[in-house]
Structure 1
Amino acid sequence: MLTTVPSYAFVFFYSLKSNSLVARRLSLFLRVTSRCHPPYTQSLFSVDARCRVSMEKCKHYRRRCRIRAPCCNEIFDCRHCHNEATSMLRNPFDHHELVRYDVKQVICSVCDTEQPVARVCTNCGVNMGEYFCKECKFYDDDIDKGQFHCDDCGICRVGGRENFFHCKKCGSCYSVCLRNNHLCVENSMRHHCPICYEYLFDSLKDTIVMKCGHTMHCECYHEMIKHDKYCCPICSQSVIDMSIIWNRIDEEIEATIMPEDYLYKKVWILCNDCNDTTEVFFHIIGQKCSHCSSFNTRTIAPPVFPQ
């Protein structure tokens, strides 16, 4: 494939035959400028890739239309199909995501008519989606999901509007069982999962709200518990009831006698569960918080008291 080179590069050609050093420098210059001025291509996707994308059935939604992505002018079954396809492009600078609100045109899957976003095809009259949201430009035939549009979130959710409420501080819709029953963390859902680092706010996976108020994917949470990790990856607070474990550690400490040199040694600790700082006797197995009896603690430098 030919690459367009800026015209000012050719002023060096006169000395190519007489000066090998200049020739080497020009060769390096051309390689650099070819990267700075990539060849113009009409499409980010090859013909084979476009055919493969158009023939594959959407695994995310059932609908009777496709969308034209305004960012790359390509046709996809849905926004997620677009994002998955662009994430596999060879050039990382071509990776991008489709903003749902930017979609202006859809293509009817029955008559292949391209038209502005609407529920019903203007040509054949087919209903392109049993559920249709004009704000999100979203179509879906599987209405058993209980789709609804949350004005505060600005996107569509599933599960039935009556089963969710929008927490203003957390910035997302939560199950009604968490109303007045969770610790609010500002914009807790507008972050990435601390395990897989996928953005939580519009993720298709189920999300769990931990005791500390932080959020993560349910499958990531269960995988973390399976590997005996019982603390929040963000704040280190215990995510389950650890009282049985603390009792066992108490028994271990009582059965383990410390050497005489460490028998009366004291350290300052910070409790990850109650955020209290106390001075306790040091033990090789662990330091117990005198406020909440948790062993989820860490040693810290002694506090500096005002004189």
Structure 2
Amino acid sequence: MFPQRLLVAVSPGREEARVLALARTLSALGARVTLAYVADVSPAVMGLEGLDPEEVRRAFQEAARAYLARVEERAREMGLEAETLYLEGPVGPTLVQAARGYDGVLAGARDHTLLGALLLGSVALYLVHHLDRPLFLARGELKEGPVGLLAEEGETGGRAFALALDLARGLGRPLRLLGAVPHIPPAAIPRELRADEAVIETGEVAEERGLVEHLTDRAWAEGVAAEAVFLRERLFSLLKEEESRLGLLVLPHHPQALWEEVAFPDTSVRAALHLHKPLVLIP
């Protein structure tokens, strides 16, 4: 279901314009937008010899509120009517807690490697791992092109399909259903298992292709033009290949522990770090 109440995290920087532009688009589709700025003042008031911590805190609070007022004015000039919300605390955890009163969150995202994001404390990566509702990431400008959806079975896949349908319908764009099964080179399979692996791989291909085609038919039945894309390659390779064709991309997301993410990066996390396209992650 398309989010009725959307919490939009804003912060100074080059991501601000992309975040506001995407927020305006989602507002036009029916979302009630709240612009939120989180001021993490605690590091600023520690270890400042000779200064009154409360005065420093008040100065940071005033600067943060002034920034939020400027963002609200800029949004209004863009045609985006929104409420504002001033918050204090560690940025990631504070946003996750505030999001409990909303149907989804929109945030910007900087370019990082996974290791860099872990070391530098990426807010976007924190939201990816801890948020329990749709996360819109303004990883690029919303340009022409269909709404892409990585096809998946199950409840998460169903929620992703429903939201992708709403976005395609609201934006007046076709839906592009994506599916992939990587090809396993015969040399990588032990000789005694090759016959069984061939049967298993054939079954996986048929199942994934059938899912993509089934969802495509469902989209047409819902009045949304759709096309199916199925390739024999790894999922992230498929997403990279499709990136330039899509307007935005909806991805089912299954949060993992950080150590698992480092060892076995999830496709949606890799997309959040590397694709330059508006993304929607559905947990």
Is TM-score (shorter-chain normalized) higher than 0.5? Answer: no
With normalisation by structure 1, the TM-score equals 0.25
Relative to its length, the structure with more helix (as a share) is 2
The structure number with the bigger radius of gyration is: 1
